[in-house]
Structure 1
Amino acid sequence: MTTVILLRHGRTTANTAGVLAGWTPGVRLDDTGQTQVQAVAQRLSEVPLAAVVSSPLERCQQTAGTVAEGRALEVQTDDRFGEARYGDWTGRPIKELTKDPLWKVVQQHPSAAVFPGPEGEGLAQTQARAVAAVREWNAKLGPDAVWLVCSHGDVIKAVLADALGMHLDSFQRIVVDPASLSVVTYTDTRPFLVRVNDTGGDVSALIPPKKKRGRRKPSSDAVVGGGAGSGAA
């Protein structure tokens, strides 16, 4: 089964200013964000990654580059993991956007939300492109791969909602903080959500076990009763 680590970029100047950055160029990590990504890179240092893939936006490129540093990997860019295209909302203060009638749609019925302006897209489109990208990378890297994608809050939440079989209208129930890890394993028949919004937990369970002769192929079945956990022999 393929495991994807979904990493949100570290905190940015736009996050602290309360501005919806979207695809605005030049939005970079602040000092706290740089500290966050150094910490997450250290946490992941023992996890063998088959690929590090990133949104094209600077804040993700900074974050992914820190994770890839010291590995025999180059950061690969995939526009489909780029931020939702917020159109005319881009660059505006969040406190101003909360007064826009579309805000309630984004909160309560996001599958119907389409951002205004010629550059705007619907959140359903954001989810479709990101999920398609995950599945294409899974197929490319193979069933034994552990790989990482650095993306944005709404994009990661949309991928997690798909993994949970949730309607997009419920994706606002998911929290994805800056520099957090969320992990999904994809089997032949279904995904399993392994962790969400992890900002400090032990990641040793993400290291693939050594291959043993006669080892059973990973099952797509859920363990009734919950099982012994990922650390069990």
Structure 2
Amino acid sequence: MGTVILLRHGRSSANGAGVLAGRSPRVDLDATGRGQAEGLVDRLAGVPLAAIVTSPLLRCRQTVAPLARHRDLERRSESRLSEVDYGDWTGRELKTLAKEPLWRVVQSHPSAAVFPGGEGLAQMQARAVAAVREHDARITAEHGEHAVWALCSHGDVLKAVLADALGQHLDAFQRLVVDPASVSVIRYTETRPFVLRLNDHGGDLSGVVPEKPRKKRRRRRTLSSDAEVGGTTGGKDRA
């Protein structure tokens, strides 16, 4: 299976205004977010990308646009990676929503939270995880198990995908932090995922690229699903 770089979109106009944007169609990146999108080109310079998959919402498409142009890669839109359908909460100020009774459910028991006129967080996790795993299987089949690909989505969606990879119940996903323009990385294997980065704001990400087997090796060896006992040595994973 492949390695997926999870990108949260850059800071949006709604982020700056303290508004729950949801699926509002015209929420774009602000000046900071546009700079963050441009910065991804250098941050991912050492990472050979096989594909880019993105939420259809404008702020995600804008985030990956500079990277796609630089790499000459097509951006594939995936509706299952779209923002949570917050229903009647969409477009409202977060400070006002924090007074709603449902807010406490979202914080402490998110698996039971269903937004009025929208979807439930458990429903969102199911569709997002299915989309990630299906695209990973497709890209692996096309490019091999050492393939690395990028996915751009939204905060709660990415937290739900990461919670699944970590083996956490959805009720624990609020313990995870995924900032605008942050990078998280999951490597899927035959039996388990490995979370290689979480909410990363650093520079070079070439260390997440799996090392390919040397050509002199005749026997095909796959990426191991075994964890390193005692911890990794800090180098790239050996095939």
TM-score by length of structure 1 reads: 0.95
Indicate conservation of the 8 Å contact 1:53/1:64, yes or no: no
Q: Which aligned pairs between 1:91-110 and structure 2 lie closer than 5 A?
A: 91-110=91-110
1:138-179: CA deviation from partner (whole Å, max 9, x where unpaired): 110112211000000000000000000000000000000000
Greater displacement, 216-225 / 165-174: 216-225
Question: Would you say the 8 A contact 1:185–1:192 is kept in 2?
Answer: yes
Q: Which residue of 2 aligns with 1:190?
A: 192
Q: Please, what is the CA RMSD of the aligned residues?
A: 1.4
**Aligned position for 1:121:** 119
> Secondary structure of 2:156's partner?
helix
Aligned partners of 1:72, 1:14: CA distance in 2, in Å?
A: 29
Q: Is the 8 A contact 1:22 1:91 kept in 2?
A: yes
Deviations 1:85-115 (A, max 9, x none): 0000000000000000000000000000000
Structure 1 pair 113/187, CA: closer, same or farther in 2 (3 Å)?
same
Question: Do structure 1's residue 164 and structure 2's residue 169 form an aligned pair?
Answer: no
Query: How many Å separate the matches in 2 of 1:184 and 1:230?
Result: 17
Deviations 1:3-44 (A, max 9, x none): 000000000110010000000011000001111111122111
CA, structure 1 residues 232+132, in 2 after alignment: closer, same or farther (shift >3 Å)?
Answer: closer
* 1:210 to 1:189, Cα distance in 2 relative to 1, 3 A: closer
Shift of 1:71: 1.4
Once residues 105 and 186 of structure 1 are traced to their aligned partners in structure 2, the CA distance between those partners, rounded to angstroms, is: 31
Q: Which residue is 1:227 aligned to? A: 232
CA distance, structure 1, for counterparts of residue 123 and residue 235 of structure 2: 34
- Identity in percent: 63
Q: Report the TM-score when normalising by structure 2.
A: 0.93
TM-fit CA distance, 1:210: 4.1
Q: 1:73 aligns to what SS in structure 2?
A: coil
Contact 1:161 1:167 in 2 (8 A): yes
Residue 209 (structure 2) aligns with:
207
Tell me the matched-pair count.
231
Q: Which amino acid aligns with 1:126?
A: M
Q: In 1, Cα distance between the equivalents of 2:176 and 2:212?
A: 33
**Separation in 1 of the partners of 2:27 and 2:235?**
37
Equivalent residue number for residue 87 of structure 1 = 87
Q: Could you tell me which runs of 5 or more consecutive residues in structure 1 were left unpaired when the two chains were aligned.
A: none
Which residue number in structure 2 is paired with residue 149 of structure 1? Answer: 151
Tell me the residue number matched to 2:136: 138
Q: Take 2:121 and 2:237, find their aligned partners in 1: how far apart are those partners?
A: 39
Q: Which residue pairs with 2:177 in the alignment? A: 175
For residues 125 and 12 of structure 2, the distance between their equivalents in structure 1, rounded to whole angstroms, comes to: 23
SS of residue in 1 equivalent to 2:151: strand
Whole-Å separation in 1 of the counterparts to 2:38 and 2:77: 20
